[in-house]
Structures are given as structure tokens and as C-alpha cells.
Structure 1
Amino acid sequence: MSASEVSSVRTQTQTLDLCLRIGEVLLASGAGAADVTATMQAVARSLGLRSVDVDITFTSMSMSYQPVADEPAIVQLRYVKHRTIDYDHLTRVDHLVRSVLRQDLDLREARSELGRITSSGHDRPRWAITIGWGLMCGGVGLQLGGDLAVVLIALIAAMTIDRLQLRMSRRRYPAFYQQIAGGGVATMIALAVAATPLALDPSVVVTANIVMLLAGIGFFGALQDALTGFYITAGARLTEAILATAGIIAGVSGGISLAYAFGVEVPQLDPGSGSLTGVGLTILGSAIAAGSFAYASYAPRRSLAPIALVAAVAMGITQSVSVPGIGRAWSVALAALFVGLVGYTVGGRLRVPPLVVVVSAVVPMLPGLSIYRGLTLLAEGGGSTSAGLLAMVTAGSVAMALSAGVILGEYVAQPVRREAARLESRLAGPRLVGPLRTRPDGSQRTRPRRSRRTRRTRRTRRSRRDRAPHAEHDA
């Protein structure tokens, strides 16, 4: 094998490795499998690799490239070991991808920049993230109609749960046991509050405390992957969401059993049954919850206020539409459609991926509480089975409405901004991460496409101009 062939194989291997590392960051941060696949293919095409194959199965990613038909293909595999929502790394990797597609960075520079992104920390201290989770749960307590005492208790409980889970994570405990511990702490705090003279509903306290543990985001991501054709990844995400929710149920029931064992009188607990009362408080609570979630997920500070505003408007749409008697799924779908429509524009203005805006804005509407309530009633059995099935169907319909509404909003928003007349040919799918469309050489189109008549006129003028010197020479 010659030196040029060795260099070419090395370059191809480094390109595949770069694409896989980019895909790992995107997938670990909650990006859909369709977005990750399209971004990896775009980067490979920009760096000179045509017709690469990408396969994603939630826990692993593989990428193959065959330069010549009669030669073996180059195949690389990478496992996604850690899954933490990190919108800071997601935003920086998104900017890196766009720089590569604009040909501002070559392969070596892109690999160096990606290494700096993944190895560097954050400018936000970890204790500030704990406060962010507390503010999120406090906002949910306000959204559920709780008073100031409920909000403060939810804030303190959420901060306690976050520090406990952080210590367990550093000791490499599986996520299922972390969920059990979080659910148990939430229940014990609620029971302790119920034993005080404070006239508080313990169900609202538990509900506000366990929101940070609920798996609504995983359920939402699973349906998004299913709608875009990645069924294996969707099934894996759905299994993860159900297992995480089962851990919360085990923790809550364990806390209640422990209270009974010590002879503590346990009031009636019904987590997930809190009603959204008071439109003004609901909108304010959802704005606080969405902005705090974005802050706790390391979203850039410039995006916090717009995300809170989008979430407030979306919750206002949900509340106003559901008043005349329209089902919750349809009201949530309309609100999600609004989020999908404005998420693309807001993300472009703020220079963040639309995924950051969309996921944070729909957090107050996620059906995690319905999932919890349905699984709890199903576990009780007997006469509660039908109510549990109804709650699970409600959760599924709400999650489907959120996913379908957001994706439809992206389908409509992206072509309208680029070229509404070429919706069918220009849009390959809903893109929440990465560039919308690139040229074959990897560069992005910055000017609108001219009409066919204009292009034909320009070609005619160019051909006449090219023939003019030959005519003078013949004369």
C-alpha cells in the first residue's frame, strides 16, 4: 500500500471518527435519531466522503464508508455511555457543524475543536444547577395551584433530591436506583410536612417534588423517533422512560411503607392528581419551570427569557383552547404546533439549536404525571385497572400530540423561511439540530434560487458572450 493510500485511509477513518463523536454529543443531549443521522451524513459529505451509511440504535452508533465497490468498507462503531442533557455542549457542537459545512474548518481543526468542547467544563457552577432544579419544581408547584409554602417546600425538596442523585451518580449507581431514592425522599418530605400544623395537600407536595424525576422527556423523544421512522431507537427510549417511572413508583411506595412501619399516620396520597387552577398562576408557573429547566440543562443565558416567554404563550394557548370543551390532546397539539413554528425562528435569532427552545418550552406540558398515575393504578390492580389504562391512554395521546405538533410546526416553519414554494423537494425532515440543507460540496445556500426563466436567460447571454471572440477571429 502506497503512502498516499495510507494517508487517504487515515483521513477517511478520522472523518468517520469525527462524525461519530459529533453524533454522540447530539444523541446524549436528547436529539432525535433523524437529526443525528442527517447531521453526521452532512459533515461526512462536507469533508469529502460521499454515500456514507449511518445506523443508530440508541445505545450505539455505527458508520460505514466504501470508497470503491470492489474494496472492503471502513466501519466504525461508538457506544453512547452517558446521557445527560447538556445544551451548552449541544450548542457549541452545532456551531462547529455549521463551521465545517461552511468550509471554515478543516478536518484537523474540527477534531481539535470538538476535543476542546467535550473536555472543557462549564462556566456555571454545579450548585447553581441545583438551585435551577429547585426553581423548576417550585414553578411546577405554582403551576399546580400551590401557595408560597408549597413552592418553598418543592424547591427545598428538589435541591435535596438533586444532591442525593449527584452523589449516587458519582458512585455509579444505575439510574433506576437513583429514581427510587428520589421518589422516597420526595415522599418522606411530603409526609413530614403533612405532620406539621400547615394545612397543605401532601399530594401536591409529592407531585411538585417528583416532577424533576419524571420521564416525560423520554416519552416525548420516543414518539418523535417513531414518527420519523426510527422504531428501534423509539422502543429503547420508551423502555427507558417506563423503567425510570417505575423507579419513582417504587420510591414513593417505599416511603409510604416506611412511614407505616414507624407508626406514622399517612394521609391519602394521590400524586399526579393536582389540577391546573388559575390561568395566571399556571402561565407564570410554566414560564418559571421552562426557564429553570433550560438553566439547569446548561442552556445559554441569552435563551432563558425567550424560552420562558414561549412556554408561557404555549401554556396560555392550552388553557384558553381547553376552556370551550376541546379535549386536552388537541389543545396541547395546538400549543406544540405554536412551539414548533416559533422554535426554529427563535433558535436562529439566539444562535442556539431549535431543540433547546422546543424541549424546554414543552416541559410544563409533558405527560409525566399521567404516566406515573397510570402505572400506579395498574400496579394496584382490582378496580383501579380501568382508571390506570385510561390514564396511560391519556398520557400517550398527550405525548403524541406534543410530538406531532412540534414536528408539524418544524415542517411548516423551515420551508416558509427558506422557500415555501419548494416544500416537498427542499425539506428532508424535521430538523431540531444541525443545518437545514447543504450543497453537494457542503456549503450552505445563502441566496434564494432564481427562477427557471431567469437562469435560462443568463445561460443564453453567457453563450452569446462566449461565441463573440470566435466570430471576430473567423472574420
Structure 2
Amino acid sequence: MSASEESSVRTYTQILDLCLRIGELLLASGAGAADVTATMQAVARALGLRNVDVDITFTSLSASFQPVTDEPTIVQLRYVKQRAIDYEHLTRVDHLVRELLRQEVDLKEARSALGRITSSGHDRPRWAITLGWGLMCGGVGLQVGGDLAVVVIACFAAMAIDRMQLRMSRRRYPVFYQQVAGGGLATIIALLVAATPLALDPSLVVTANIIMLLAGIGFVGALQDALTGFYITAGARLTEAILATAGIIGGVSGGISLAYAVGVEVPQLDPGTANLSSVAWTILGAAVAAAAFAWSSYAPKRSLVPIALVSAVAMGISQSIAAPGIGRAWSVALAALFVGLVAYTVAGRLRVPPLVVVVSAVVPMLPGLSIYRGLTLLAEGDASTSTGLLAMVTAASVALALSSGVILGEYVAQPVKREAARLESRLAGPRLVGPLRTRPDGSQRTRRTRRRRAETSA
């Protein structure tokens, strides 16, 4: 092999490695497989490699390129070692991809920039993240009708759960056991408070913490992968989501069973009939919870207020539609449809991926209430088993309605650009991460052509 051929192979390998590292970070942050595939292929094309084959199986990524038909194919593999919602790194990588597509950085600069992104810390300390989780659960406690005591207890329980799960994560306990411990700790704290003279409903505290534990589960990503044809990745995401939810159910049901064993009464949570004042508090609680979740997920600070506003409007839509008696799943689906419709525009204004707005805004509508009602009814005995199972089915339908409503909104809202038409039709899905344009636009090509002509004439 000549020196020029060795240099070419080295360049091809570096390009594929950059694509894989970008794809790994996107996939670990909850991006759909279609978005990851399109972004990796767009980066490779911008750096001069066409017809790069990308394969994603949730835990691994592969990229292959064959320079000439009669030469061996260059194949690179990368495994997703850990999954953590980190919207700061996700946003910075999204900006890097856009700079690559605009040809503002070259391969060497892009590799260096990506290394700085993945190795750098965050602009907020870890204890601030714990406070953010506490504020989120306090907002949920306010959303479900709790008073000041409920909000304070929910905040304390959330911070305790976060610190416990952080310790378990550092000791490499699987997520299932972390969810079991979190659900159990939330229930035990609520029941201990119920045993005191304080007049509060422990079910509100448990519900708030259930939503906290549900917040990191990738329902949206799982449904997006299923709708866009990535069935293996969708099945893996769905299995992970079901296992994590089962951990919550196991922990909470264990705490409820313990309460019945020691003779502590566990009340059911009934939201009752909505009125103007309760709807106002619900909307305020949803806004606080959405912004606090975005803060705890390292979302850029500029996005917190818009996310709170989007979530507040969505919760208002859900409550106003549910008031006349429409089913919970349909009211949530229409609210999620609104989030999907506005997320693309809001994210463009904020210069963040739409995924940041979408996930944060729908967190307050996660079915913590239905899960808690189902568990308490199942724990009461045979007479309430059918009602409990119905509540659990309602929880599953709400989660499905949230995901499908958001994705339908993205389908309607996102314009399909001419330059990306071929790729989008092949992937058949909206873009929640990554630029919609996969090729430089006409104005950029014109500027480069004029610059080359000027250099040639000079």
C-alpha cells in the first residue's frame, strides 16, 4: 500500500470514528435511531464520504465505507457504555454537527471539539442537580393538589432518592434495582410522615416521586423508533422502559404492602372535579416541574422559561379538555400534540434540539397518578383487583398517548426540505435531534463557488 493510500485509509477511519462518537452521544441522550442514522450519514457526507452504511442496535453502532468496489470495506464499531440524559452535551454536539454541515470546521477541528465536549464538566454542580429534582417533585406535588407540607415532603423525598440512586449508580447497580429502591424509599418516607400528627395525604408524595422516577424513561424514543422502522432498537428501548417501570411498581407496591402489614392506612388519590383555582395551581405546578426537570438534565439556562411556558399551556389544554369528561388518554394526547407542534419552532429559537423541549414539557403529564391508584387498589384485595388493573392499563395508555401525540405533532410541524427529501422518505420520520438539512443549501454553495472562482482568477 502506497503512502497516499495509507493516508486515505487513515482519513476514512477518522471520519467514521467521528461519526460513531457523535452517534453514541446522541443515542445515549435518548435520540431516536432514525435521527442518529441521519445525523451520522450527514456528517460523513459533509466530510467527503458518500454511501456510508450505518447500523444501530441500541447498545452498539457500526459504520462502514467501501472506497472502491474491488477493495475491502472499512468497518468501525462503537458500543454505548452508559446512558444518561445530558442535554448540555446534546446541544453542544448538535451545534457542532451544524457547523460541520456548513463547513465551518474541518475534520481535525471537529474531532478536537467533540473531545472537549465529552471530557468537560457542566456549568452547574451536582448538588444543584439534586435541588432541581427536589423542586421538580415539589412542582408535581403542587400539580396534584398538595399543600405546602406535601410540597416540602415531596422535595425532601426526591432529594433523598436522587442521592441514593447516585450512590447506587456509582457502585454499578442495574437501573432496575435503583428504581425499586427509589419507589420503596418514596413510599416509606410518605408513610412515616403519615404516622405523625401532620395532616397530609401521603399518596400525593408518592405520586410526585413516581413521576420523578418515570421522567428518565425513554417512551418517546421507543415509539419513535417503532414508527420509523427501527424495530430492534424500539424493542430494546421498550424492554428497558418496561423493566424500569416494573422496578418502580415493585418498590411502591412493596412499601404499600408493608404499610398494610403494620396497620397503616394507605389512602387512594382521587383528583376530584376540576375547578378554576385547582386548574391554575395544576398549571403552575406543571410549569415548575418541567423547568426543574430541564435544569436537572443540564438543559441550557436559556431554555428553562420557554419550556415552562410550553408545559403550562399543554397542561392547561389537558385539564380543559378533561373537564367535560373526555378520557384521560385523549386529553393527554391532544396536549402532547400541541407540544410536538410548537417544539420545532421553540427549539429553533432557543438553538437547542427539539428533543430537549419535547421531553421536558411532557414530564408533568406522565402517569404517576394512574400507577399509584392501580397499586393501591391491587393491594386492597380481590374486590378491587379489576379496578386496579384498569388503572394500570390507563397508565400504559397515557404513556402511549404522550409519545404518539408528540411524534404526530412533529410530523405535522416539521417542513420536509428539498435537500433532505430522499433521506427523510427513506427514514420516514421527523427529526427530534440533528439538523433538518443534510446538505449545504444553495446560498452556501454559491458563496463557495464564487470564492473558488475569485481564487482561480487571482
Query: TM-score, with normalisation over the residues of structure 2?
Result: 0.89
Tell me whether 195-204 or 399-408 shows the greater mean CA deviation.
Answer: 399-408
- Map 1:301-312; keep pairs closer than 5 Å: 301-312=301-312
Q: Which amino acid aligns with 2:213?
A: L
Aligned counterpart, 1:203? 203
Q: Return the letter of the residue paired with 2:266.
A: Q
Task: State the partner residue of 2:40.
Answer: 40
Equivalent residue of 1:183, what SS? helix
State the partner residue of 1:430. Answer: 430
Q: Structure 1's 33 and 374: CA in aligned 2 closer, same or farther, altered over 3 A? A: farther
How far 1:326 moved relative to its partner? 2.6
Structure 1: gaps spanning 5 or more residues: 448-475
1:79 maps to 2:79? yes
Deviations 1:219-269 (A, max 9, x none): 3321221112111111111111121122222222443455577xx432125
- Structure 1 window deviating more from structure 2 (303-312 vs 207-216): it is 207-216
Aligned counterpart, 1:3:
3
- How far the C-alpha of 1:343 sits from its partner, in A, is 0.8
**Partners of 1:408 and 1:68 in 2: CA distance:** 41
- Report the equivalent of 1:405: 405
The alpha-carbon deviation at position 88 of structure 1 amounts to 0.2
Query: 1:76 aligns to what SS in structure 2?
Result: strand
Change beyond 3 A, Cα 1:48–1:225: same
| CA 247–300 in structure 1, closer or farther in 2 if over 3 Å, else same | same
Q: How far, CA to CA, are the matches of 2:343 and 2:443 in structure 1?
A: 21
Q: Find the counterpart in structure 1 of residue 395 from structure 2.
A: 395
Q: Note the aligned Cα RMSD (angstroms).
A: 2.6
Deviation at 1:130, TM superposition (A): 0.3
Q: Distance in 2 between matches of 1:279 and 1:187?
A: 26
**1:51: Cα distance to partner?**
0.9
Q: Secondary structure at the match of 1:435?
A: coil
CA deviation map 1:56-94 (0-9, x unaligned): 111111111122222221111111111110000000000
The answer to whether the 8 Å contact 1:246/1:375 transfers is: no
The one-letter amino acid paired with 2:200 is L
Q: In the alignment, is the contact (CA less than 8 A) between 2:420 and 2:436 conserved in 1?
A: no
CA–CA separation in structure 1 for the residues paired with 2:153 and 2:443: 52
Partner SS state of residue 14, structure 1: helix
Tell me if the contact between 2:279 and 2:316 (Cα under 8 Å) persists in the aligned partners.
yes
Encode CA deviations 1:102-125: one digit per residue, 9 max, x unaligned: 001111110100000000000101
Letter in 2 for 1:164: M
Which residue of the partner structure matches residue 98 of structure 2? 98
Matching residue of 1:239: 239
Q: Distance in 2 between matches of 1:427 and 1:172?
A: 39
Q: Is the 8 A contact 1:377 1:385 kept in 2?
A: yes
Separation in 2, partners of 1:444, 1:375: 54
Secondary structure of 1:68's partner? Answer: coil
- Please tell me whether the aligned partners of residues 273 and 323 of structure 2 are also in contact (alpha carbons under 8 angstroms): no
CA contact (8 A) 1:203 1:269 kept: yes
Partner of 2:265: 267
Q: How many residue pairs are counted as aligned between the two chains? A: 440
2:355 and 2:433 in contact (8 A); partners too: yes
* Greater gyration radius: 1
Q: Distance in 1 between matches of 2:329 and 2:180?
A: 30
Say if 1:245 and 1:371, in contact at 8 Å, map to a contact too: no
Equivalent position of 1:457 in the other structure: none
Alpha-carbon distance change, 274 to 58 in structure 1, aligned in 2, over 3 angstroms: farther
Corresponding position of 1:317: 317
- The residue that corresponds to 1:348 in the other structure is 348
SS in 2 for 1:136: helix
Note closer, same or farther for the CA distance 1:244–1:339 as it changes in structure 2 (3 Å cut). Answer: same
**Match of 1:54, SS?**
strand
State the Cα distance separating 1:3 from its structure 2 match: 0.8
Query: 2:38, 2:423 within 8 Å by CA — same for their partners in 1?
Result: no
Contact 2:253 2:379 in 1 (8 A): no
Q: Deviations over 1:384-437 (max 9, x none)?
A: 554354334323332332222222222222218x68xx9977954300111102
8 Å CA contact 2:266, 2:376 repeated in 1:
no
Counterpart secondary structure, 1:63: strand
Could you tell me which runs of 5 or more consecutive residues in structure 2 were left unpaired when the two chains were aligned: 445-458
Partner amino acid, structure 1, of 2:184: G
Local SS of the residue matching 1:78:
strand
Secondary structure of the corresponding residue to residue 279 of structure 1:
helix
After TM superposition, list the pairs within 5 Å mapping 1:248-267 onto structure 2: 248-256=248-256, 264-267=262-265
**Percent identity of paired positions between Structure 1 and Structure 2:** 81
